[in-house]
Amino acid sequence: MKFKNLKIDTPEKLLFGVAPAPVITRRGLVIGGGQVYAELNFTLPVMGINKSTYQEVYNHYQEIVEGALERALHLESRGVVLEFETLLEMTKDPDLGVRIVEIMNEVCEHYYQRYGLISEIRLTPNDLREFERPAFQRTSAYLEPMMELFERGMLAGGDLLSIESTGGKEVSDEALMMCDTKAMVFALAVLGVRDMQFLWSRICALAGKYGKIAAGDTACGFANTAMVLAEKKYIPKVFAAIVRVISVVRSVVAVEQGAVGPDKDCGYEGPFLKAITGIPISMEGKTAACAHLSPLGNIAMACADLWSNESVQNIKLLSGMAPVAYMEQLEYDVRLLNEAIRAGSGHTAILQELLVASDMYTDPQALILAPENVIRISRELVKGDTYVANARNGALAALNIIEESLQTGQMKLSEMETSQIPMFREDLQSIPDDESQFIEMMLPMLDEQKFILSEYGL
């Protein structure tokens, strides 16, 4: 791992709105430069996507962006990021995806030219390689439309480039269901890391070619899947917390390859990335409840540079269309954060303390996101020589923090949860520092028909 020291090494400096390496966008947002902006995420209502519905699709995106920016303008927004998280058809057929970016960008430009409202588009294509099992991570024909959408989409106005890549998912899906910590480390710190190196070297090269912003990648298909499974009580919350920490070592690779942030909203590993690399991050919390539930409603906001929601359908509510309603919610949250920043460090500290304290001990996944714990875990995530060692060390630090809070009585978990902790610890402690040794140890335990090692450069 390239990062050996933390860019933010004290909890007090891990704060919302401020990042050591702010990102300046084309129209002038300074993300992480002293204020927080809203990032709106939206999707289509229930409908099919095929050539006969393309016009309807275009109309929806136009309506969403116009409605959202009109509301942002009315609320005197200081700037907005609009995330275009494509649906599978929009990456499979880059023409469709590019046309939607063009439509969105025309609206953004109109509001910028006419009213001075700054907005930018985050373009997030799908990782189509998942369509093949086992996946051909490096040789799949699906890479072509993905990269085409990145390239043509950024030229059409998608300035921030992100993806939720899926390298290692062939192993992690089963590992999640079995709560297999070693297999999760293999999926994320061996396969995931290698795939991120492959993919992000290409995305960063494209971004560099056109002067666009390689923003970052989230472990949504891994750690958020764990979080949602834990919310359903399918797996222990403690395991979901460990998976979140392990996911950091794969998500940080995008930054190693040249990504500069803002990391994408659904990456609850964002605070660790911010501490380790100094990039600004987007976060979502209670505002994501339209798409998924979480135990991180307030604490997720504690060090956000963009405050986001999760895909909200373009459906009618009593107040208006749902994305417009969410735009308003985000703007009011952001106003509060920015007012605290304006009022000074005493106010930001108090607001952050309240955001953290209100969630921290209600769930181990929230506990690890408290700034002091983010810093403590992040130190462990960078101290080793390999991604594997760092994943193990970070996860063990998280377990220590969870156990300490149980011992002090600050956090309470059911016996079903606590009984799993010794097993997780034992599994993690059996992981060697050396990646080759770890791979040798794991391969006999994994179903090698489910993944192709050579597609990961192994």
Partner 1 sequence: MLPGILKPIIFTLENQQLFIADINNETMNVILEKLLEAVESGKIDQKSPYPPQLKGQDGASELTVQALEAGIVPQLILEDALIPAMGNVGKKFSENKIFVPQMLMSARAMGASMIHLKPYFSSGEIRTKGTFIIGTVKGDLHDIGKNLVAMMIEGSGWSVIDLGVDVASDKFVATLNEHKGAVVGLSALLTTTMVNMEEIVSTIKEQVPNTTVLIGGAPVNTDFCKKIGADFYSPDPQGAVEYLNKLVAA
Give me the residues that bind partner 1 (CB under 8 A), please.
43-49, 87-89, 130-131, 133, 173, 176-179, 225, 229, 233-236, 313, 416, 420
Our CB check for partner 1 shows the closer of 114 and 232 to be 232
Our CB check for partner 1 shows the closer of 176 and 327 to be 176
Sign of CA dihedral 233, 238, 239, 243: positive
Largest CA distance in the chain: 63
Report in angstroms how near the CB of residue 236 gets to partner 1 at its nearest. 6
Ordered DSSP codes for 97-163 = HHHHHHHHHHHHHHHHHHH---EEEEEE---GGGGSSS--TTT-TTHHHHHHHHHHHHHTTEEEEEE
Our CB check for partner 1 shows the closer of 28 and 48 to be 48
Our CB check for partner 1 shows the closer of 233 and 347 to be 233
Asked if 392 contacts 181 with a C-beta cutoff of 8 angstroms, the reply is: no
Our CB check for partner 1 shows the closer of 160 and 242 to be 242
- Closest to 337 measured CA to CA, from 366, 304, 370, 369: 304
- What does the alpha-carbon distance between residue 248 and residue 180 come to, in Å, rounded to a whole number? 17
- Closest to 406 measured CA to CA, from 394, 389, 419, 395: 419
Report in angstroms how near the CB of residue 43 gets to partner 1 at its nearest. 7
Report in angstroms how near the CB of residue 235 gets to partner 1 at its nearest. 5
Our CB check for partner 1 shows the closer of 233 and 342 to be 233
Question: Tokens 């084309």 correspond to what residue?
Answer: 26
Our CB check for partner 1 shows the closer of 169 and 212 to be 169
Our CB check for partner 1 shows the closer of 44 and 241 to be 44
What lies within 8 Å, CB to CB, of 391 at 6+ separation is 185, 188, 189, 245, 246, 248, 249, 381, 431
Between 143-155 and 94-115, two packed helices, what is the crossing angle to 10 degrees?
20
Report in angstroms how near the CB of residue 173 gets to partner 1 at its nearest. 6
- What does the alpha-carbon distance between residue 137 and residue 148 come to, in Å, rounded to a whole number? 16
The angle formed by the CA atoms of residues 376, 377 and 379, to the nearest 5 degrees, is 70
Asked if 382 contacts 5 with a C-beta cutoff of 8 angstroms, the reply is: yes
Our CB check for partner 1 shows the closer of 166 and 257 to be 166
- Closest to 187 measured CA to CA, from 202, 165, 210, 168: 168
Report in angstroms how near the CB of residue 291 gets to partner 1 at its nearest. 9
- Judging by DSSP bridges, how do beta strands 18-24 and 30-33 pair with one another? antiparallel
Report in angstroms how near the CB of residue 233 gets to partner 1 at its nearest. 5
Report in angstroms how near the CB of residue 179 gets to partner 1 at its nearest. 5
Report in angstroms how near the CB of residue 134 gets to partner 1 at its nearest. 12
In angstroms, the Cα distances linking 176 to 60, 219, 364 are 36, 13, 17
